[in-house]
Amino acid sequence: MNSYTSNNSHLLIVNRGEELIERLNQYASESDLNSAWLSGLGGADQVTLGFYDLEAKDYVWQEYSQPLEIVSLTGNMTIVDGRPYWHIHGVFSGQDFQSISGHVNSLRVGLTAEVLITPLPMNLTRSFDETTGLKLIDDLNAN
């Protein structure tokens, strides 16, 4: 992984074979990020995507082990239990040009991944929400 920093953004180039979320966690810890927004593109050769079933309060997971274009990644980073927590959704396409998308649980880079991280000026955290069964961003106006 290589990284480049400007005034208010970080560009990460994640290499073939690297696990994206592991590298994002590493970078967030090394850079003391407290919250951020993410966008990216590239190629993957393995991705696990999820769809959240609100009634069951659980994810339905699907693994794809094939070359895929990373058409779009978008998400954010907050802090959960003192550690970086990435909430990322992605759109991917295969050789048939059909798209698949969902919540990214894991992603192994197949070619490269180019990810832009923009730090946010607030310290976002998440807490468990019983209604949804998810860890949601805390109400910033509650304090």
Side chain identity at residue 81, one-letter code: D
Is 107 a member of any domain? Answer: yes
pLDDT at 143: 52
Q: What share of the chain has pLDDT > 70, as a percent?
A: 98
Is 36 a member of any domain? Answer: yes
pLDDT tens digits along 4-19: 888 889 999 999 999 9
Q: Is the confidence at residue 140, as pLDDT, over 80?
A: no
Residues 6+ apart with CB under 8 A from 69: 42, 43, 92, 93, 94
Query: Mean pLDDT of all residues in the chain?
Result: 94
Is 103 a member of any domain? Answer: yes
pLDDT at 142: 59
Is 142 a member of any domain? Answer: no
- H/E element, 50: strand 36-53
pTM given for the model: 0.92
Q: Across residues 68-97, what is the average pLDDT?
A: 96
* Residues spanned by the domain of 107: 2-136
Q: What share of the chain has pLDDT > 90, as a percent?
A: 87
| Whether the Cβ atoms of residue 72 and residue 55 lie closer than 8 Å to each other | no
Residues 6+ apart with CB under 8 A from 55: none
Name the domain count of the chain: 1
CATH number of the domain within which 125 lies: 3.30.1330.80
Is 141 a member of any domain? Answer: no
